[in-house]
Amino acid sequence: MSKPFYVTTPIYYVNDRPHIGHTYTTVLADVVARFHRMRGEEVYFLTGTDEHGQKVEKAAAARGITPKQLADEVVANYTDLWQRMGMTHFRLIRTTDQDHKEQVQRLFQRLLDKGDIYKATYKGLYSVSDEAYVTEMQAKELQAQGLAHQLVELEEETYFFRLSAYQDRLLAYFEAHPGFVQPDFRFNEVKRFVEGGLQDLSISRTSISWGIPVPGDEKHVIYVWFDALLNYLSACPANCWPPDLQLVGKDILRFHAVYWPAFLMSAGMFLPETILAHGWWLMGDDKMSKSKGNVVRPDTLLRFGNDALRFFFMREMQVGHDRGFSFEGFMDRLNADLANGLGNLASRTLSMIQRYRGGLVPIPALPDEQDQEMATRLLEVFPEYLEKARANDFHAALDALWSYLRALDGYIVKAEPWKLAKDPANDPKLDAVLANLYRALRATALLVAPVMPALAQSLWESLGHADQVAARTFHGFALDGPAIGPIGESKPLFQRIDKEKEMSELEAAEAPIETKATLDVPEIRETVDAESFFKVDLRVGRILEAERVPKSDKLIKMKVDLGIEQRTIVGGIGKAYEPDQLLNRLVVVVANLAPRKLMGIESHGMLLAASDNASKPYLVAPPDDAQPGFLVK
Ligand code: MSP
């Protein structure tokens, strides 16, 4: 029996509910899994949760519950979400599962017996927030960032893994396997890191009790990353090893591309085929974080449908790169590609086949040059899509397919089937056009099935099929084969989103639910030099007029006097302030910020505000005797 295609996601920490970052990775893995099934392969898709460590221990203690109780609570969010989203993983492994704990202890013992794990005393610096030993170089970096308070002096007994012994072997392996880490620029970072020298890695802690005990030396628990990485092994059935594709975010690549292969080499096991590091979903240019209150939860987006979210993720994110998320961008993409693009093409095509041919798909007898060109493009785009998807580049695959769909729109406009239908002499041309459109949609349903399972099935049925499109395989699919029967009932594929209406509802849905009693003080940002800071023109302004932006409960449009000119500024302060409260107020304005449009209104400048955990704004106020136009510096 051939080996199943084995794909994994990272296992998620249980200190937070899933957000769109976690959802993205799992969707990508599910799309890959479904794609490989439609290539006729057996697939084993694994996801899970990472439950041990100090953070979980502390969070549970703060709530007066056990770490396991906390983990059970959070894991329920994951299982529920993945189930609602129809994820096709075989198992959600938890690091608290008994078989995993045994596996970790077995492997620890094996490497200990081999001499690759040894006990010694560590004396040096320790970062409390990273739960990791810190080299002198790293300590200097932290000090430069003003984070010295995170460091403590430590002397303790610990088990080390002999990572330094694997430096050359890893480099040789990298050399021999140029596709081991993708994309290339990330692989280069990994290589540079290893070339820079590897130190032995501490893989046990005595300061923590919530973890898997070191066999025979129970006051030590096994370091979370040693524990976590082995999940891929614990959950792997006998015929599955090694993983074909391991999806990870860029932040955890080093663990997967350096430590993990070294552990496996030491255990004498095969290494994964490919580790693919994806970038991050950002909010504007910022990281999503609870303390910034800018975390987007999947449920906020799932009300537009599971397939819509899956499509958006795959279409927008170029794997490897970061991508800024915005609700507007989300809705624009869906309206353009699903409501207009594919949705429109499908409904036009199906209604023309119904109207002009009584629902029977014609067989083209005399295609002209234009028809042939479109037929040829289908023959080209089909393998192109499959090749890109096989390389996990769904962004490029969908891009190629959608540009073909756009070309079909142009083809319809040129051919004007509604005119052709008026004269039976044009029948051969009309037949050719309708057949081409039908075949394009049929191929599209098949190709997008891994990305949008339900939408693809609905399209497939509208085209007259009774079977499951996902049960088909790409291989041997007859692109120009005749239709199997009359077309089915045409269902709208995707309901156009009323953007303005949804924007205000989305804003409300993202309202501060995560208010905490105490302030989670965000870390100080990166240092900027004085010259860069003084480029920002801060002015005292006075609010002359203020009104709510229609259909938004967050945005307020203001006229602000800056002493030398008056500005229109739209601010997201509507949940904290009523327009009346703002009149005549003195504020601090970022006066040289590039103008931008917010719900159709050009906003020129920004008001400075302090904010709490929940991002509630507190307008910064100059003293009463300051006047509009004063520079703030
Ligand atoms: N528990 C470790 C992984 C252990 S794997 C053996 C962990 N967990 S995590 O929950 O913090 O992160 C899981 C994954 O989510 C990581 O791959 C991380 O890159 C990804 N993401 C977290 N925020 C993200 C975005 N904003 N965007 C995309 N993915 C992001 O790390």
Pocket test residue of 8, 9, 12, 316 for ligand 1, highest count of atoms within 8 A of CB = 12
Residue type, 601: I
23 CA from centroid of ligand 1 (Å)? 10
pLDDT-derived band at 1, boundaries 50, 70, 90: low
Give the residue-averaged pLDDT of 376-399. 98
pLDDT of residue 468: 98
Atom of ligand 1 nearest to the CA of 231: 6
Residue nearest to atom 16 of ligand 1 (CA): 249
Residue nearest to atom 21 of ligand 1 (CA): 21
pLDDT of residue 514: 39
What secondary structure does DSSP assign to 411-472, as a single string?
HHHHH-HHHHTT-GGGHHHHHHHHHHHHHHHHHHHHHHTTT-HHHHHHHHHHTT--S-GGGS
Give the residue-averaged pLDDT of 235-241. 94
pLDDT digit string, tens, across residues 560-578: 999 999 999 999 898 888 8
Is 80 exceeded by the pLDDT of residue 509?
A: no
Task: Enumerate the CATH 2.40.50.140 domain ranges in the chain, comma separated.
Answer: 530-632
CATH 3.30.1370.100 for domain 5-278, yes or no, is no
pLDDT-derived band at 85, boundaries 50, 70, 90: very high
> d(Cα 175, Cα 477) in Å, to the nearest integer?
38
pLDDT digit string, tens, across residues 140-197: 888 887 778 778 888 889 999 999 999 999 999 999 999 999 999 999 999 999 999 9
Residue nearest to atom 22 of ligand 1 (CA): 21
392 CA from centroid of ligand 1 (Å)? 19
pLDDT of residue 510: 55
Range scoring the smallest mean pLDDT among 8-22, 108-122, 425-439, 530-544: 530-544
Give the residue-averaged pLDDT of 70-80. 96
Task: Please count the other Cβ atoms lying within 10 Å of the Cβ belonging to residue 13.
Answer: 18
* 21 pocket-lining for ligand 1 (C-beta < 6 Å): yes
pLDDT of residue 512: 45
- Mean residue pLDDT of the chain comes to 92
Atom of ligand 1 nearest to the CA of 229: 6
Pocket test residue of 11, 25, 82, 212 for ligand 1, highest count of atoms within 8 A of CB = 25
Give the residue-averaged pLDDT of 277-294. 87
Q: What percentage of the chain reaches a pLDDT higher than 70? A: 97
pLDDT of residue 517: 37
88 CA from centroid of ligand 1 (Å)? 20
Give the residue-averaged pLDDT of 541-556. 90
109 CA from centroid of ligand 1 (Å)? 29
Q: Are the C-beta atoms of 33 and 43 separated by less than 8 Å?
A: yes
pLDDT of residue 311: 98
* CATH superfamily name and code, 530-632: Nucleic acid-binding proteins (2.40.50.140)
pLDDT of residue 520: 60
Query: Do you know the residue count of the chain?
Result: 633
CATH 1.10.730.10 for domain 323-471, yes or no, is yes
Of residues 132, 109, 103, 108, the one with CA closest to residue 231: 103
Task: Enumerate the CATH 3.40.50.620 domain ranges in the chain, comma separated.
Answer: 5-278
Residue nearest to atom 25 of ligand 1 (CA): 21
pLDDT digit string, tens, across residues 416-452: 999 999 999 999 999 999 999 999 999 999 999 999 9
Whether the full predicted model's pTM is greater than 0.75, yes or no, is: yes
13 CA from centroid of ligand 1 (Å)? 8
* 283 pocket-lining for ligand 1 (C-beta < 6 Å): no
Tell me whether residue 298 is exposed, middle or buried, using C-beta atoms within 10 angstroms of its C-beta: 0 to 12, 13 to 18, 19 or more: buried
499 CA from centroid of ligand 1 (Å)? 30
Label the pairing between strands 586-590 and 5-13.
unpaired
> d(Cα 490, Cα 350) in Å, to the nearest integer?
7
75 CA from centroid of ligand 1 (Å)? 15
Pocket test residue of 23, 50, 82, 258 for ligand 1, highest count of atoms within 8 A of CB = 50
